């Protein structure tokens, strides 16, 4: 008979929904572009931007492990990295300091890709124009278009690094980082940041999403070319 391992809260539902929804949208972005369904490609980008803004808000008012104040510690990341190289075991209920830096990097590169898409102007038939392409200088639109085309490669590199870290922890550290992001629970233990997470309010999460949605879609509608989304 297997021993009963007590579980403790680690990731709240809004954080987990954000994580997996963003994964799906990142996967769909190149697919919709490759298939030439640019209505859905643009909508996909707007939703990504909405999620990034939502996560920034949730990082302030969300559950304990979701808050940036809990895991954004740049200087601590160096110490954690040295300890990792030395094989010293350190355990965190939420993101460890290096993982926190990876979260910020992913939010930045994915968010930047979505923002660049707003200003992209591609004359290769069929013409694809972001809602703000005509609102900026032509040179700015061309620069945005150039980096938007390169951007997914940068995202892929960051995702590959993220996945490699997950595999490393699973194989070398015997720590499953994926399951808690599905169930929201981790084995009880001694963690440096907290022994159990306090989950964020679902009502507060819904409000954060509504605010993010209104800013992104309202801004595009009000200030985009001809007030159009697509």
Q: What is the pLDDT of residues 23-74, one digit of tens each?
A: 999 999 999 999 999 999 999 999 999 999 999 999 999 999 999 999 999 9
Q: 67: closest CA among 75, 59, 55, 79?
A: 59
Q: State the DSSP code for 9.
A: E
Residue 194 is assigned to a structural domain of this protein: yes
Q: How many domains does one find in the chain?
A: 1
Query: Strand, coil or helix: what is 8?
Result: strand
Cα–Cα distance measured from residue 20 to residue 105, given in angstroms and rounded to the nearest whole number:
17
CA distances from 148 to 36, 44, 167, 219 (A): 16, 14, 29, 20
CB atoms within 10 A of CB 117: 26
DSSP 183-206: HSEEE----SS-SSPPPPPHHHHH
pLDDT on residue 64? 96
What CATH number has the domain bearing residue 78? 1.20.950
| Averaged pLDDT, 188-197 | 93
Establish how many alpha carbons lie within 13 A of residue 88's alpha carbon, considering only the half-sphere containing its beta carbon: 7
- The pLDDT-based confidence of 230 (bands split at 50, 70, 90) is low
pLDDT in tens, 14-23: 999 999 999 9
Residue 65 is assigned to a structural domain of this protein: yes
Residue 150: enclosing H or E segment and its boundaries?
helix 138-171
Residue 159 is assigned to a structural domain of this protein: yes
- Assess whether pLDDT exceeds 60 at residue 226: no
- The pLDDT-based confidence of 96 (bands split at 50, 70, 90) is very high
Report pTM. 0.93
Residue 140 is assigned to a structural domain of this protein: yes
Q: What's the domain range around 120?
A: 15-227
Residue 5 is assigned to a structural domain of this protein: no
Residue showing tokens 């990295």: 81
The residues facing 9 across adjacent strands are: 185
Residue 4 is assigned to a structural domain of this protein: no
Measure the N-to-C terminal CA separation of the chain; round to a whole number of Å.
59
Contacts of 186 (CB under 8 A, 6+ apart): 7, 8, 10, 93, 180
**CB-based contact 110:48 (threshold 8 Å):** yes
pLDDT in tens, 111-134: 999 999 999 987 655 667 899 998
Residue 103 is assigned to a structural domain of this protein: yes
Q: 63: closest CA among 104, 16, 119?
A: 16
The residues facing 186 across adjacent strands are: 8
Residue 198 is assigned to a structural domain of this protein: yes
| Averaged pLDDT, 185-209 | 95
């Amino acid at each position: 008979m297997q021993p009963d391992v007590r579980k403790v809260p680690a990731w709240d539902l809004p954080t987990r929904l954000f994580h997996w929804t963003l994964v799906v949208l990142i996967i769909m972005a190149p697919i919709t572009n490759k298939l030439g369904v640019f209505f859905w490609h643009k909508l996909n980008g707007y939703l990504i931007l909405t999620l990034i803004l939502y996560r920034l808000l949730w990082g302030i008012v969300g559950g304990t492990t979701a808050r940036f104040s809990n895991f954004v510690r740049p200087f601590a990341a160096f110490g954690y990295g040295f300890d990792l190289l030395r094989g010293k075991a350190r355990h965190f209920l939420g993101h460890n300091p290096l993982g926190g830096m990876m979260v910020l990097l992913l939010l930045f590169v994915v968010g930047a890709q979505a923002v660049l898409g707003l200003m992209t102007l591609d004359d290769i038939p069929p013409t694809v124009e972001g809602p703000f392409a005509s609102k900026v200088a032509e040179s700015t639109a061309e620069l945005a278009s150039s980096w938007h085309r390169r951007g997914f490669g940068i995202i892929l590199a960051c995702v590959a690094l993220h996945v490699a870290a997950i595999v490393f922890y699973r194989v070398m550290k015997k720590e499953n980082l994926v399951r808690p992001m599905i169930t929201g629970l981790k084995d009880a233990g001694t963690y440096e940041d907290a022994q159990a997470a306090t989950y964020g309010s679902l009502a507060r999460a819904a409000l954060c999403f509504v605010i993010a949605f209104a800013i992104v879609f309202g801004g595009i509608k009000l200030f985009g070319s001809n007030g159009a989304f697509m």
